[in-house]
Structures are given as structure tokens and as C-alpha cells.
């Protein structure tokens, strides 16, 4: 939260500098505290596949697939509506989130920040699971009849009402236990998504945009534990660049 507020204040001050209201941006001289990664526990690729195999027949399995393959926050998952999902083009738009308030659940039209409102490409697996989920949801709607509350939500209860993000976390951990996997947070599927992309050599800027981080610095700080391995891979990719020439090649010069 501190880093988020720092970014907002810095952006506001920068605009004031551009408009000539301030001589300089004093926020440039400050640095927000480093993000603590102690609680972060992304699943390994093998663990993720084990989880998928265990939970594949569950009603909200597609929500967990989407979390792992897009990096959506749980509030964004529970606030996702079908009008923001294009299964033909294979993309979704994040523009709503479901908030847990003292007086209940509420759907907010705007996300945490401008960067939070984003378009994310879907994997083939995610598209397949969403199509299956949409077909199942149509049957639920038909079975409920007039009692169904059509809020346009992708992930909701059988009667169309909001699905509590906290309950989604409980389901996730229930399936983890069933699979014999470590107990982690649902938010760690978001970290799993980022970790898998970075380990595959995907540029941090793309990861930042998919996660909706306000800056690439935030992404790099958050996943700095992955950087050493990427640095070694970068060096290995240049091995052999200056191969010793064979005698025949040397004579040909």
C-alpha cells in the first residue's frame, strides 16, 4: 500500500512540475520501502499441475485456472463479468472488482489504479475452461428460473449472486489440502503466474502489464528472488559466442 501511495503522489507532483506549479518533484528524492516477500509462496509448475488434476472437476475450477494463467486478484476474479470476456479473440478486460465491505459485498466499476484496468490475453487452457463454465452456468440459470439473479458475473453462486472472495480462498485451500500440497494463499496463484512467466524469459514489462502493477520497478522488486536464475540463464545464452576458430577457418582469412 505504501508503494502504491508513493506512486500516486509522485505522479501527481510530476504533473504539477509539468504545469509549472512546482520547480521539481520532491518525490523523486525518496524511495518507498522494499516489498517484503516473506509470505510469498508461489506454486512450482509440478505443484500447479497436481492442483489442477485434483480440482479439475470442481465447479469453480476455471477460476483457479484463470488466476494462475492471468494473475488476476481474487477481487478481480469475483468481479469479472462476461461482457469483459471475449472468448473468440481470447482476451479479457479487467475493469471491475468485488469488494468485501463491513455491510456486505459490492461490485466496484473501477480497479485500484489506472494500471489496474487492463486487457489480458488468455491461454488456450483458460479459454477452454471458460467455455465449459459458461455452458454449465447456462444450465444453472435455466434450472433456477426466475429465482436466478443475472448480474452477468463469470464466477458467482448457482443463483447468480456474488461469490465471496474470502470463500473462494477457502475453497482453494481445501483443494490444496486434498491434493497434499502446502497451504498457501489464493493470492499466491498470482505470484505463481508471474514466476512462471519470468522463468520462461518473458520480459518484466509484459509481466507488469498483466499483473496491473503501477510500475515495472514494483514488479522487479517483488520478484527479485527470481532474478539470479535469470541472470545465469542470460550468461549461458551467450556461451560459445566467441568460439575458437578451426585451423581451416583461420587459414581462410
User: Which domains can be identified in the chain, with CATH numbers?
Assistant: 44-221 (1.10.443.10)
Examine the pLDDT at 1 and tell me if it is beyond 70: no
> How would you label 142-171 residue by residue, b for 16+ Cβ within 10 Å and e otherwise?
eeeeeebeeeebbbbbbebebbbbeebeeb
Whether the pLDDT of residue 244 is over 60: the answer is no
Write down how long the chain is.
Answer: 253
Contacts of 9 (CB under 8 A, 6+ apart): 27
The pLDDT mean for the chain works out to 88
pLDDT at 26 over 80: no
- Asked whether the whole model's pTM tops 0.85, one would answer no
- Is 216:205 a contact under the CB 8 Å cutoff? yes
pLDDT single digits (tens) 97-155:
999 888 889 888 765 566 778 999 999 999 999 999 999 999 999 999 999 999 999 99
pLDDT tens sequence across 38-92: 588 999 999 999 999 999 999 999 999 999 999 999 999 999 999 999 999 999 9
| Cα distances (angstroms) measured from residue 209 to each of 4, 55, 70, 83, 94 | 15, 28, 11, 21, 11
DSSP code, position 245: P
Contact 98, 107 (CB under 8 A): yes
Amino acid at each position: 500500500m505504501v508503494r502504491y501511495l508513493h506512486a500516486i503522489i509522485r505522479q501527481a507532483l510530476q504533473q504539477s512540475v509539468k504545469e509549472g506549479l512546482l520547480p521539481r518533484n520532491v518525490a523523486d528524492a525518496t524511495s518507498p520501502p522494499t516489498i517484503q516477500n516473506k509470505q510469498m509462496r508461489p506454486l512450482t509448475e509440478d505443484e500447479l499441475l497436481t492442483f489442477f488434476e485434483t480440482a479439475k472437476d470442481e465447479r469453480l475450477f476455471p477460476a483457479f485456472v484463470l488466476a494462475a494463467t492471468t494473475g488476476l486478484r481474487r477481487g478481480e476474479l469475483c468481479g469479472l463479468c462476461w461482457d469483459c470476456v471475449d472468448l473468440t479473440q481470447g482476451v479479457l478486460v479487467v475493469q471491475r472488482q468485488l469488494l468485501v465491505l463491513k455491510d456486505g459485498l459490492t461490485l466496484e466499476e473501477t480497479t485500484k489504479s489506472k494500471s489496474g484496468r487492463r486487457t489480458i490475453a488468455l491461454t488456450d487452457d483458460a479459454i477452454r475452461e471458460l467455455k465449459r463454465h459458461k455452458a454449465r452456468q447456462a444450465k444453472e440459470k435455466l434450472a433456477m428460473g426466475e429465482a436466478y439473479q443475472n448480474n452477468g458475473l463469470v464466477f458467482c453462486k448457482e443463483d447468480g449472486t456474488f461469490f465471496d472472495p474470502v470463500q473462494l480462498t477457502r475453497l482453494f485451500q481445501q483443494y490444496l489440502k486434498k491434493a497434499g500440497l502446502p497451504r498457501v494463499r489464493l493470492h499466491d496463484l498470482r505470484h505463481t503466474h508471474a514466476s512462471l512467466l519470468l522463468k520462461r524469459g518473458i520480459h518484466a514489462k509484459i509481466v507488469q502489464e498483466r499483473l496491473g502493477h503501477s510500475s515495472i520497478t514494483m514488479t522487479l522488486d517483488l520478484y527479485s528472488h527470481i532474478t539470479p536464475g535469470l541472470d545465469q540463464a542470460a550468461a549461458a545464452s551467450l556461451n560459445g559466442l566467441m568460439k575458437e576458430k578451426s585451423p581451416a577457418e583461420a587459414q581462410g582469412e
